[in-house]
Amino acid sequence: MAIKEDGHYITFGQHIQQQQQYFPSASGQFSWLLSGITLATKMIASYVRRAGLIDVWGEQGSTNIQGEEVKKLDIIANDALKKTLGYRGNVGIIASEEDDEPRVIQEVSAEDSYIVMFDPLDGSSNIDVNVSVGTIFTIFKNPPEIDGAAKSVLQPGAKQVAAGYVLYGSSTVLVYTAGNGVHQFTLDPQFGAYLLTREDIKMPDHAGTYSVNEAYLHRFPEPYQRYLHWSKHPEGGGYKSRYVGSLVADFHRILITGGIFMYPPTTEQPDGKLRLMYECNPLAFVAEQAGGLAYGEGGKRIMEIEPTDVHDRTPLVIGGKKNVEEAMRFINDPVKV
């Protein structure tokens, strides 16, 4: 049931306006920017619901900058975000996981200019088999002192202004933070509005669930292998395994019910697979605002990693505070465990 205020449902737009009281420097233009993201995700949700009825299944016939096969729905989602954000007068730079480089879409005033970065359709390889997929986004201020889009986007996650994701599942939910807690909205298809359904979400500190692709277990570094062996052993953690294979879906379950998600480095990908800017930074921001933790390369806090390229990759350990601390004892100091 959507949360009501004075007998009325709270929409995403209303919630953003209320939240601006906590950020005196924020302008009304910020809510206008976010409305561009919500509009695009409503369009994407419509295509996802009709997949199979219209021609959006299958591959488009090319690969992206990551070397991955591009799905037809990847292109649709990418274009939807570009077009809706292009009409927001305060978005100066956009960067997409599907594109080679960040791009300047318009000249905007230095004092009210933003960078929007996104993974338009996370988990798109699952769309053909009707598994949940999602959109991940993050927003930075555009630093006027830095010249060039390629350098402007290279900011650590701690400088994010807002971040979140949309999960296209049994219902379409939007989860976001602007640094004042984590809030969830559910899309009402009858009225085409996102309605507040969970406010100030707190991730459980500890739960007996881990999420990782164990098919790669023997390719993980030894500390990760030892942690996973301990996790599932009855005399260790005795945890249950829950893995969807769609990052947004796996993370959303942990946000609500607790546990830990891991994507360790492998022998083939020693730097990790997940993208720092498009996936790990925004999810880390959400996790920390919900009371959780997120660590990456070298046991460093995800939000403190200084990016060197817009497509940097990193390992990821994210989840409830005690779950992550437990795992990091193995990963950082395996000899003493």
- For residue range 117-144, list pLDDT tens digits in order: 999 999 877 777 778 999 999 999 988 7
What is the mean predicted confidence (pLDDT) over 257-265?
Answer: 97
Mutual angle of helices 281-289 and 247-257, in 10-degree steps: 10
CA angle (11, 281, 264) in 5-degree steps: 125
Q: How far apart are CA 110 and CA 92, in angstroms?
A: 9
133-141 and 160-168 beta bridge pairing? antiparallel
Three-state secondary structure readout of 187-206: EECCCCEEEEEECCCCCCCC
pLDDT at 336 over 60: no
Is it the case that residue 228 has pLDDT exceeding 60?
yes
Provide the token pair at 117: 């970065």
pLDDT at residue 321 in the model = 98
In degrees, rounded to 5, the angle at the alpha carbon of residue 52 between the alpha carbons of residues 46 and 55 is: 80
Average pLDDT over residues 163-192: 94
Per-residue pLDDT of 9-46, as tens digits, reads 899 988 988 877 665 555 567 888 899 999 999 999 98
Nearest of 48, 50, 94, 38 to residue 73 by alpha carbon: 48
DSSP state of 51: B
Stated pTM of the model: 0.91
Cα–Cα dist 269/263, whole Å: 11
Q: How far is the C-alpha of 58 from the C-alpha of 155, rounded, in Å?
A: 35
pLDDT of residue 196: 96
- What's the confidence (pLDDT) of residue 123? 83
Nearest alpha carbon to residue 279 among 100, 96, 91, 40: 96
Distance CA 16, CA 178 (A): 9
Question: Which pLDDT score is estimated for 16?
Answer: 87
Amino acid type, 42: K
Q: What is the pLDDT of residue 1?
A: 58
What percentage of the chain exceeds 70 in pLDDT?
86
Ordered structural domains, the chain, with CATH: 4-198 (3.30.540.10), 209-336 (3.40.190.80)
- 3-state DSSP call for residue 75? helix
User: How far, in Å, CA of 238 to CA of 222, rounded?
Assistant: 19
- For the chain, the maximum distance between any two Cα atoms, rounded to a whole number of angstroms, is 60
- Residues 308, 137: Cα–Cα separation, whole Å: 19
What does the pLDDT look like over 279-331, one tens digit per residue?
Answer: 999 999 999 999 999 999 889 999 999 999 999 999 999 999 999 999 999 99
What is the predicted pLDDT for the residue at 242? 95
Average pLDDT of the chain, as a whole number: 87
pLDDT value, residue 21? 65
Q: Which pLDDT belongs to residue 184?
A: 97
pLDDT of residue 61: 47
CA distance 95 to 109: 19
pLDDT at 66: 55
* pLDDT digits 0-9 by tens, 38-88: 999 999 998 888 766 555 554 554 555 555 555 688 888 999 999 999 877
Please write the tens of the pLDDT for every residue from 317-334: 999 999 999 999 999 975
